[in-house]
Amino acid sequence: MKTPLQRVLNGDKTIEGYIEGKGKLTITKPDGKKIVHVVGESSKPLELNVKVGEIMQWQASPSSTLTAYEVCYPPYKDGRYENID
């Protein structure tokens, strides 16, 4: 399972965080550079700020569940993200 591929269009702060399970968060910078954050292989926490213009996607590992969270400031409103796929 994976979340939609989403580009951040606006907002002051978008925080993506990991709670449990195994998988990855892929962030694509506006210049096309991809950064993959693997979660669940260690007890290392993950919480990062996704900037306007960046594209993000969570993906669970096969046969694993993945629980993550998102905090938006200001609060989420339609139009904050553009779904790419």
Measuring CA to CA, how many Å separate 33 from each of 11, 25, 41, 55? 22, 14, 23, 10
In a domain, 39, yes or no: yes
In a domain, 69, yes or no: yes
What pLDDT score does 85 carry?
73
Which strand (E) or helix (H) includes residue 69? strand 66-73
What pLDDT score does 63 carry?
86
List, for residues 63-75, the tens digit of each pLDDT value. Answer: 899 999 999 999 9
List, for residues 19-29, the tens digit of each pLDDT value. Answer: 999 999 999 99
Residue 42's pLDDT band, with cuts at 50, 70 and 90, is confident
Total domains, the chain: 1
Provide the residue range defining the domain that includes 13. 6-74
Residue 43 has pLDDT above 80, yes or no: no
In a domain, 67, yes or no: yes
Phi, psi at residue 82, to the nearest 5°? -115, 120
In a domain, 85, yes or no: no
CB atoms within 10 A of CB 24: 19
In a domain, 19, yes or no: yes
Q: Which strand ranges, in their side-by-side order, compose the sheet holding 13-21?
A: 47-49, 13-21, 66-73
In a domain, 12, yes or no: yes
